[in-house]
Structure formats: C-alpha cells, structure tokens
Amino acid sequence: MKNKLYTYCLASLLATGLLVSCDDELDIDPFEEGNPATFFNSVSSFQNGVDGIYSQLWNYYSSPGSGLQGIPDILADNVILSQTGRRSNEDYYDYRYNANTAGAISLYWSEAYEAINAANLVIGQIDNLAAGAARDNILGQAMAARAIAHFDLVRVYAMIPTQSADANNSPGIVYMKVEDGDTGDPYAQPARETVASNYAEIIGDLEQAAQLIGDSNGEGRLDRDGVYGMLSRVYLYNGDYQLAVSAANQVQTNVADAADLLDVYEDTTNEGVIIEWSVNTSSESGFNNVGVLYSQTTPPNTVSEYVIDYEFYNNLDANDLRLDVIQYDATNQGNNYNAVRKFLGETGQVNGRVDIKVLRAAEVLLNKAEAQFELDQEGPALTTLNTLRDARYTSYTGGESGQALEDAIQYERRVELSFEGHRFFDLKRRGEPIQRSNNGDIQDGTGTPPEVLILPAGDYRFQLPIPAAEINANPNMEQNPNY
C-alpha cells in the first residue's frame, strides 16, 4: 500500500509540475507596448518610428504653456505681457529665469533629447531594411530630425557662432549619435561639447540627409526642400553665407501669396510651408493647442497672455498685406488689445489648435537675402528681398542699399516671421540687444509697460540655463555662466 501511495504522491507532484510548467511562464511579453529591439523590421514600421520623432518635436514646439513656436517672441520685443491674462511665462518675459524655472527651460532640454533618442533608435537599426530609396528616405528623415532637435538645443542653451567671437569655442550641448556609440548607457554622464563641434555635426547630419531623403513625404514630414531650407538657416547661424545661398537655391517651394496667407495660418493650405509639425484636429482633438501661448477665447472675451507691442504694430506699413494675419482686435475686462492672430485656430475655430509652422519659403528668401548682403552682394540681396516684398505689399518704395538694405532685410524678417519663434534667435545670433518699446499693453499704448526694457547684447541671459535636474543628475554637465 505504501508503494502505491508514494506513486500517487509522485504523480501528484508531476501533475503540479505540468500544470504550472514552471519557470517558462515567468517570461511574459508586454501586451500594449512594443519591443524596441524587434519592432523595426519594415519600411512602414520604420516610418512609425520616424513619425514618433516628429511627434516629439511637435511636443515642444506646440506646448500650450511653453511652445518653441512662441517663447522666442515672448523673450524678445514683438509682444508685451497683457495685464489681464494669466501672467503665464512672466519669468521668461521678465528674464527672471534660472536653472529651476519651470516651463520652457526643462521642456526643450527633455523633449528634444527624447526626439534625438527616438531618431537614434531608428538610425541604429536602419540595416534591418534593404538598401534602396525607401531605406534612404527613412534614414534621411531621421538624420534631419535629429539635426533639428540638436540645433534647437544648441541655439537655446548655448551661443550661436555669429553671436560673438568667442561663441565657437564656448560650451555647446551634447550631440548624441548612435553611429558614434554615444547611446546605450542610461547612466552615462556626458560633458558638453563646443558650439563649433555641434554645428559641424548638425550640418553633417543635414547634408547627409539631403542626399538621402525623398522629395515629398506628405504633410508634417521632412523632405528634400525641408532639409535644404533648414540648411539655409543653419548655415546662416553658422556664418557660412555662401553655403546658405546655395542651400536656399536648392529649395523649390515658392512663397505663398498674401491672399493665401490667412489660409496658411488656418491650415486650409500649406502654400509656402516647407517644414511643419502637424496635428489632425479631428482624431487628435485632445492634442496641444499652441495658440494658448498667446491667448484663450471665451466669447466675447479674449484672455490674452501676450499682445502685440504697440510700436511694432503701429510701425507696420499701411500697404502691408499681412496685417490681417498678424493682428485682431480683442477685448478683455473692458480693455482693447492688439491680439496675435496667427495661431487662433482652424477656420471658424478659436481653440488655438493648429499646425506648427517651422520653416516657410519666405524665411528661405530672407536667409538668402541676408547671406547675400553679408557676402556684399547688395544687388542680388535686394532682388531676393523684393521677391518677398512683391508678395507682401500692394506697393513699396524699395531700392535700399548699405545699412538701409540691411535694416530692410531685418525689418522684413521681423514682420514676416513674427510670433513664429524667430525673433529672440535673430537678435541673439546678430549680437544685438533686445530693446522693447516703453508703451503699455493696451491697444492705444496705455497700460503697463514691460518691466525689463532692454537685454543688452552679450547678456548671459541670451543663453538659457541648463535645467537644474540635469545638473543634479549629471555632475559632468557644466552650467552656463552666471546661473
């Protein structure tokens, strides 16, 4: 009997063993997430990865609190804080930021590196695709997007090469390239490279991307024109004026007519838009609404955060066809304001949810005109400038030369690219101060003027501080001076 019992006992042990088939059951794969090591195995899955990079760029350009589409204007002289708003970004507007200031400082640093990480993930596995145009197009998009994210980092947190003589040798940011073995160690504590080295790598990535990328990848994605357009900007920032002109010449896209301009900002046409980060406002109706940077609408009131600077608006030419896309009359708490029109919403909407205009054909012309002027090619520079002005004015005097021409190019740049995230960088890279007018926030110039009227050229606050969280996590990360 005993033997039988032990047999039974063994059988029951076995049964248990079978039932639970032991340790194999402990290997469970995630259900709703993918495996980054195996997911990328087809052109379409790689494109999912590339669209992921764009979505990360979209995140920091479109943030309704800190979007890169608007902060560089808030940091400069195109807008003034509205006293009846929520006083959002006031620390930025008044240049009171430090390494602990919430908002843009931590957002860009974190999100741009996430975009870079996403790009490196794609680039590092590109050999999973067979060589050919499809693979080149994926690689080109990823490299270009990686360059743009690094470019945003270095222009925000470091000096710009043309800004001053010491800029090139000053600390830049960390350039993360999977090909160079920069990735893979989550505990890495890299130190800053120089601005010159950053620009070399940005340009290297873009130039390579230009050879690989396709001509047309659809809305919201980079393509050949986008890469050359971006190159014209980066060369200009880097003082490579001849290269800037050449790159601008590679861009095929034409400037939008003034008549189409409102449609461009209401997203009914992409005329003249070379790079944009897009949103599908029907299936992505909960995504960021960038217009909130400037205002929110609760009819009949518009609660503006920032409104157009009195002097800037009143100096606009009466013949300027852009007036309607720049400004609209808004009221709040009984006050009238010159509110920012560009990001109010799609046609008929006031929710501020629109595509991000990163780079337009108009900017390429302005990059080219400025580069030509720097190369002492005043004639061609004027011609280039007039190409844009023809599309923007019912009539204009023109014919400038020398300083007047330089001023005209910069004036046109300020107006054309106003509120689109350029002004702070344009003043910074040219080594100029930020000078705000001493007018109030209300439409007639009364109200409260800016607390800080001037940020002198060379001020340390042109370089935003590296976020404190980074400094704490990475002792090798050098903080910018004076923070």
Partner 1 sequence: MRAKLAWMLTPLLALCMSFSYGQEKTVSGNVTDQNGLPLPGVSVVVVGTSSGTQTDFDGNYSVTVSTGQVLRFSYIGQKTVERTIGASSTINIQMEEDAQALEEVVVTGYGSRSRELSTSAVSTVSTEKIEAFVPSTSVDNILQGQAAGVQVTAANGRPGQTAFVTIRGVGSISSSTTPLYVVDGVPVNSDFINNLNPNDIETFSILKDAATVSKYGSRGANGVVLITTKQGRSGDARVTFRSSYGFAERIPDPFDLMNASQKLELERQFADLGVSAAQSLPGANADDAERARLIGLDTNWEEELLRKSQIQSSSLSISGGSEKMTYFMSLGYDKNTGIIDRIDGFERITARLNTTYQAKDWLNVGTNISLSRNTTDLPRDRNNVQNPFRAMYDYNPWDPLYSRNPDGSIATDDQGDPIFNPTTAGFPIAKALITEPEDNRNFLIVGSLFADIQFSDKFSNRFTVGASNNRYNRTARSLAGGVLNTIVGDANFPGTQTDNFQNTLQYNVNNLFTYTDTYGDYHNLSASFLLEYNENIYTSLFASSRGFPSPEIPYQNIAAEATSAGTGEARRSLFSQGLFVDYDYDSKYILSGSIRRDGSSRFGPENKYGYFYSGSAAWNIANESFMEGTFVNDLKLRASYGTSGNQNIGDFAFLDLLQFNTYNGNTTAIPIGVGNPNVQWESQAILDIGVEFGLFNNRINGVVDYFKKNSKDLLLDQPLSHTVGDENNSITSNIGEVENSGIEISLNADVVRAENFVWRVGGNVSFLDNKVVSLVDGSDIINGDFGYNILREGEEINSFYTVKYAGVNPANGEPLYYDLDGNITNQYSGAFNTILEGKSPYANIEGGFFTSIKWGGFGVRADFVGKAGNYIMNFQRQAGISIGNIDSNQRVEAFNYWKQPGDTNVLPSPLYQGTADQDSDRWLERGDYLRLRTLTVDYTLPGKFMDRTGIDRIRVFATGQNLFTITEYNGDPEIGIGSDESSEAGTAGFIPGAFSLFSYPQTRSYTFGVEIGF
x-or-dash string of contact with partner 1, 107-136, rule CB under 8 A: --xx--xxxxxx-xx---------------
Please, which residue, 186 or 334, has the CB nearer to partner 1? 186
Beta strands in 161-277 (DSSP E): 273-277
Closest CA to 176 of 197, 158, 156, 207: 197
CB atoms within 10 A of CB 299: 6
* Dihedral pair phi/psi, residue 184, rounded to 5°: 105, -25
Site for partner 1 in 208-247 (CB under 8 A): 219-220
Piece in contact with partner 1 (CB under 8 A), picked from 183-191, 254-262, 412-420, 428-436: 183-191
Residue 404 is a binding residue for partner 1 (CB under 8 A): no
Please, which residue, 239 or 465, has the CB nearer to partner 1? 465
Piece in contact with partner 1 (CB under 8 A), picked from 48-56, 124-132, 324-332, 439-447: 48-56
Handedness of CA 157, 161, 165, 166 (dihedral sign): positive
Reduced to 3 states (helix: H, G, I; strand: E, B; else coil), residue 79 is: strand
Piece in contact with partner 1 (CB under 8 A), picked from 3-11, 199-207, 208-216, 255-263: 3-11
Greatest Cα-to-Cα distance within the chain, rounded to the nearest angstrom: 115
Please, which residue, 121 or 159, has the CB nearer to partner 1? 121
Please, which residue, 186 or 348, has the CB nearer to partner 1? 186
The amino acid that residue 223 corresponds to is D
Closest CA to 302 of 339, 271, 275: 339
Site for partner 1 in 262-281 (CB under 8 A): 278-280
Residue 73 is a binding residue for partner 1 (CB under 8 A): no
Please, which residue, 36 or 379, has the CB nearer to partner 1? 36
Closest CA to 446 of 307, 340, 326, 320: 307
Please, which residue, 356 or 391, has the CB nearer to partner 1? 356
Sole binder of partner 1 in the list 49, 226, 229, 291 (CB under 8 A): 49
Closest CA to 237 of 370, 406, 381: 370
Site for partner 1 in 449-468 (CB under 8 A): 467
The first and second tokens of residue 154, run together, are 């270095």
Piece in contact with partner 1 (CB under 8 A), picked from 41-49, 203-211, 255-263, 293-301: 41-49
**How far apart are alpha carbons 220 and 173 in whole angstroms?**
27
Q: How far is the CB of 298 from partner 1 (least distance, A)?
A: 13
Sole binder of partner 1 in the list 283, 298, 333, 395 (CB under 8 A): 283
The amino acid that residue 268 corresponds to is T
Residue 190 is a binding residue for partner 1 (CB under 8 A): yes
Residue 36 is a binding residue for partner 1 (CB under 8 A): yes
Distance in Å from the first CA to the final CA of the chain: 85
The first and second tokens of residue 287, run together, are 């995504």
Please, which residue, 25 or 180, has the CB nearer to partner 1? 25
**How far apart are alpha carbons 424 and 293 in whole angstroms?**
16
Reduced to 3 states (helix: H, G, I; strand: E, B; else coil), residue 339 is: strand
Q: How far is the CB of 1 from partner 1 (least distance, A)?
A: 5
Residue 22 is a binding residue for partner 1 (CB under 8 A): yes
**How far apart are alpha carbons 272 and 360 in whole angstroms?**
6
> Residue 163 to residues 37, 44, 105, 262, 344: CA-CA distances in angstroms?
42, 42, 21, 34, 33
Piece in contact with partner 1 (CB under 8 A), picked from 52-60, 127-135, 362-370, 443-451: 52-60
**How far apart are alpha carbons 389 and 398 in whole angstroms?**
9
Residue 23 is a binding residue for partner 1 (CB under 8 A): yes
Residue 351 is a binding residue for partner 1 (CB under 8 A): no
Residue 2 is a binding residue for partner 1 (CB under 8 A): yes
Please, which residue, 53 or 362, has the CB nearer to partner 1? 53
Q: How far is the CB of 112 from partner 1 (least distance, A)?
A: 9
Please, which residue, 56 or 232, has the CB nearer to partner 1? 56
Residue 425 is a binding residue for partner 1 (CB under 8 A): no
Residue 9 is a binding residue for partner 1 (CB under 8 A): yes
Piece in contact with partner 1 (CB under 8 A), picked from 10-18, 87-95, 128-136, 291-299: 10-18
**How far apart are alpha carbons 383 and 400 in whole angstroms?**
11
Q: Are 461 and 474 in contact (CB under 8 A)?
A: no
Angle at 85 between CA 83 and CA 90, to 5 degrees: 75
Please, which residue, 24 or 376, has the CB nearer to partner 1? 24
CB-based contacts of 28: which residues, under 8 Å, 6+ apart?
none
Q: How far is the CB of 187 from partner 1 (least distance, A)?
A: 7
Sole binder of partner 1 in the list 41, 42, 169, 189 (CB under 8 A): 189
Estimate the crossing angle of helix 402-416 against helix 378-392, to 10 degrees: 40
Q: Are 467 and 460 in contact (CB under 8 A)?
A: no
Residue 35 is a binding residue for partner 1 (CB under 8 A): yes
Sole binder of partner 1 in the list 158, 174, 231, 369 (CB under 8 A): 174
Please, which residue, 383 or 472, has the CB nearer to partner 1? 472
Q: What is the DSSP letter of 320?
A: B
Sole binder of partner 1 in the list 132, 181, 186, 300 (CB under 8 A): 186
Residue 37 is a binding residue for partner 1 (CB under 8 A): yes
The first and second tokens of residue 325, run together, are 């896309």
